[in-house]
Structure 1
Amino acid sequence: MAGDEEQQDEPVTFRDRRKVDPETGEARPQETGAAEQAAPAGDGTDQIVDPVAGPADGVDPEVEKLTAEVAERTADLQRVTAEYANYRRRADRDREQTQLAAKVSFVSDLLTVLDDFERAEQHGDLTGAFKSAADKVGGVLTKLGLEPFGAEGELFDPQRHEAVQHEPAEGSGPTVTVLSAVLRRGYRISDRVLRPAMVTVQDRPEAEVSPEARAEAAEGGTDPAGGDAGPGTGEPENPA
């Protein structure tokens, strides 16, 4: 009987294994066993992998592939950009040359008309409606970039002047060759000479040439002492 009394004194433990709390109606957290909570023992050779950086011992091959593709696409873009810039420069240069050629072709056909206007003005016939028309034509040609050149006292430039007569200087000493008379005015557009000026030239002492004329000749690459080319090429011709 004593054994039965000791067995009845032992407390009885009840475990509530219901998954839902009967009072709140909420799901109860599931208990995991000690075996599930304990981390499985490894052999020490497991590799830790970073999901972003890839394997710990090097770069992810996929990242290397993408990096190479980006570098290749960047090089292609730079090459295409440079080729397009070169194309734009060539196109702009060709367009300017085409426009200049068109202006030269149009203006060259009107140079004889300008000569007629100039001769009429010298004889006092450029008056009234004739003068108004001449001024309008001259204004249009000026807008196109036409510039006249050739005036008495300028230094002789064989690249721009065609000399038909040459008067040597009297006496000795350093001299320069200047325009003594302009028989036909010269014209140019930009740096292109449409027609050289037909002139007569004369050798004069350097002291008689203004500093402004010498400075202008130096900027234009003119030799103050004159050129050495023959007649018909812009060089002064010594009369027989």
Structure 2
Amino acid sequence: MDNGRPQNTNPTELRRLLQERTEDLQWVKAEYDNYRKRVRRDRMAIRHIAVANVLRALLPVLDAVDRTCAHEPMTPGLKDITDTLRAQLGSLGLETFGTEGDPFDPARHEAVVHHVSPDADELICTEILRPGYRLGDQLLRPAHVEVTGPPPPASNRLAGHGEAPHDDTERDDERPSPPVRPAAPNTWAPSSRRAPPRPSI
């Protein structure tokens, strides 16, 4: 190269070099775009984890506010605190769930009491003892509920495991004792067959 100009002036060679440099630039640009996407995705994941941790730590505060609202008169100050707290947490994506009449879902509900109703076909949440919360698709806390429905299936400790294998080996304390040979009967014999008495010394 002389004075910044390529020495080879062959048009075909120049087009080849230009194509190679263009492909290199396109590859670098694609790598940079992928890097930006990964950084954005990682930032969103970190933000989601941080928000979930903060919301999970504030759930006891919401429970305290709910208990206060249930047992104390709703004063303007208490109402303002409750509305502001729920609005701010809702803006972060916090959602509450758990309504009387919902079908029981073991993935979202935790049954504390089970009322048996032989006429029912499925378990229904009949009372919400503590609401559940979620952040998008992430479950922060299941709802504690009372359910009403059919009786649970009879518990069987061998259910799902099959019958226990039979062990034909007898333990030492279960083996029968060897038969005892009966003693010779104490039969009477004529005096002629009796052994003569031993002489006394």
TM-score class, shorter-chain normalisation, is: 0.5 to 0.7
Partner of 2:136: 190
Percent identical across equivalent pairs?
A: 41
The runs of 5 or more residues in structure 1 that have no matched partner are 1-59, 205-240
- Provide, for residues 130-188 of structure 1, a one-character-per-residue CA deviation record: whole Å limited to 9, x for no partner: 2212221111111111111111111111111111222333148xx22221111111111
| SS of corresponding position for 1:100 | helix
The runs of 5 or more residues in structure 2 that have no matched partner are 1-7, 151-201
| SS of corresponding position for 1:109 | helix
Q: Give the number of equivalent residue pairs.
A: 143
| SS of corresponding position for 1:164 | strand
Aligned residue type for 1:101: I
Partner of 2:115: 167
Aligned-residue Cα RMSD (Å) equals: 2.0
Partner of 1:86: 34
The 5 Å alignment of 1:37-76 reads 62-76=10-24
CA–CA separation in structure 1 for the residues paired with 2:94 and 2:56: 10
Of structures 1 and 2, the larger Rg is shown by 1
| SS of corresponding position for 1:114 | helix
Match of 2:122 among 176, 179, 187: 176
The 5 Å alignment of 1:1-240 reads 62-171=10-119, 175-203=121-149
- Provide, for residues 46-86 of structure 1, a one-character-per-residue CA deviation record: whole Å limited to 9, x for no partner: xxxxxxxxxxxxxx972222121112112112212221222
Structure 1 contact 117–126 (Cα < 8 Å) conserved: no
Task: Tell me the TM-score normalised to structure 2 length.
Answer: 0.65
Aligned residue type for 1:123: H
Task: Tell me the TM-score normalised to structure 1 length.
Answer: 0.55
CA–CA separation in structure 2 for the residues paired with 1:104 and 1:131: 25
